[in-house]
Copies of this chain bind each other. A is one copy, B any other.
Amino acid sequence: MQRFINNPDEVVEDTVKGFVKAHSDIVRLAENPRVIAARNAPYQGKVGVITGGGSGHEPAFIGYTGKNMLDAVAVGELFSSPTAKSFYDAVREANGGKGVVCLYGNYAGDNMNVKMAVKMAAKEGIEVATVVANDDVCSAPPEERKKRRGVAGEIFMWKIGGARAASGASLEEVRATAQKAIDNCRSIGVGLGPCTLPAVGHPNFQIEPGTMEVGIGHHGEPGVRVEPLKTADAIARDMCRIVLDDHALPEGTEVAVLVSGLGATPLNELYILNDTIEAEITGRGLKIYRTYVGNYFTSLEMVGATLTVMALDAELKELLDVEVHCTALL
């Protein structure tokens, strides 16, 4: 492993410490050292907005903590759900007396621990609403959409939910708008190379050189097929076809596009993908309102990329335009 680590079992500990030191103008460590909070959270009279998830996806999840975004984030071990206690403590850090919405991804551990945290919060009189992201098209067929995993669409869900909460909306309004955001998202991942958990010391799955895995998940979950590696053009067309066929948006729909690297893919290659992605999306009669290209939701040093397309309406456009102050997003 050619990696910058100390004790492989303390990667998350060391990451969180270095993160808080770098960005103490934006975030703070909560009493629970597995919870990052926005520096000035909680905001009295504002709905709190939280998430949580496994580490190794940086800048997700912690990098989206900040003004008009997430108020607190529960931090799990590498590729593992945060504990129920950490989700609960994130709720407490974000609670400004108007309830808290937890916007998270559809994974078994997260589902279980968020459910427990909601009960713990209820006992303390804190109402917690939840939205579960399931934007990953290849992880289940359309008729079982609720079984799909949450991936980079979560970033749009957080941005929209955070902006709605900052506008003074009620808990139910924030929940409903965040739900609309993720319902309007479809994502796909393509993997060209695996990643290694430092404590394991060898790749947690294999991608043979000269091949790629279409529909891969954020932890190497199998996709819909393994096939010979194609050109960037062909891959981008395939990603667009899978996402847009599932989305089935009317011509003229405005969309936001997010192209994220999975960790070890150079930024210039994401731009190469975007060149074709833009052509494919506009070729279908859709209008691109904004494009994000970068390492927004990664998987350690996995080689690969994800595409997320969010359909917009007037409300979502306005909320997407709200300025935020966090480390991961302009």
Which positions in A face B, CB cutoff 8 Å? 2-6, 11, 14-19, 21-23, 25, 55-56, 58-59, 63, 192-193, 207, 209, 212, 229, 231-233, 235, 259, 263-276, 278, 290-295, 298, 300-301, 303, 305, 327, 330
Contact = CB atoms under 8 A, between A and B. Distances in A.
A63 to B, nearest CB: 8
Contacts of A55: 268
A265 B292 CA distance: 21
B21 A192 contact: no
Main secondary structure of the interface of A (DSSP, over half): mixed
A17 B275 contact: yes
B2 A275 contact: no
B298 A18 contact: no
A291 B192 CA distance: 32
A275 B17 CA distance: 6
A19 B294 CA distance: 11
Contact of A267 (B209, B259, B268, B295): B295
B267 A59 contact: yes
Contact of A266 (B18, B23, B56, B63): B56
A233 B13 CA distance: 13
A61 to B, nearest CB: 12
A62 to B, nearest CB: 9
A292 to B, nearest CB: 8
Given A55-B268, A266-B298, A22 B209 contact: no
A108 to B, nearest CB: 23
7 contacts: A17-B271, A17-B275, A18-B271, A18-B278, A21-B278, A21-B291, A23-B293
Contacts of A193: 2
Given A4-B305, A17-B275, A275-B17, A23 B232 contact: no
Contacts of A14: 232, 271-272, 275
A266 B270 CA distance: 16
B266 A263 contact: yes
A180 to B, nearest CB: 24
B4 A270 contact: yes
Contacts of A209: 2
Contact of A235 (B4, B207, B232): B4
A317 to B, nearest CB: 14
Given A4-B305, A264-B266, 17 more contacts: A2-B192, A2-B193, A3-B192, A4-B270, A5-B231, A14-B275, A15-B271, A18-B271, A18-B273, A18-B276, A21-B278, A22-B271, A23-B291, A58-B268, A266-B298, A267-B298, A294-B327
Q: In this complex, which of A14, A56, A267 has the most chain B Cβ atoms within 10 angstroms of its Cβ?
A: A267
Given A58-B268, A268-B15, A298-B266, A278 B22 contact: yes
A127 B241 CA distance: 51
A259 B21 CA distance: 13
Nearest to A3: B269
Closest 3 CB pairs of A and B: A18-B271, A18-B275, A264-B264
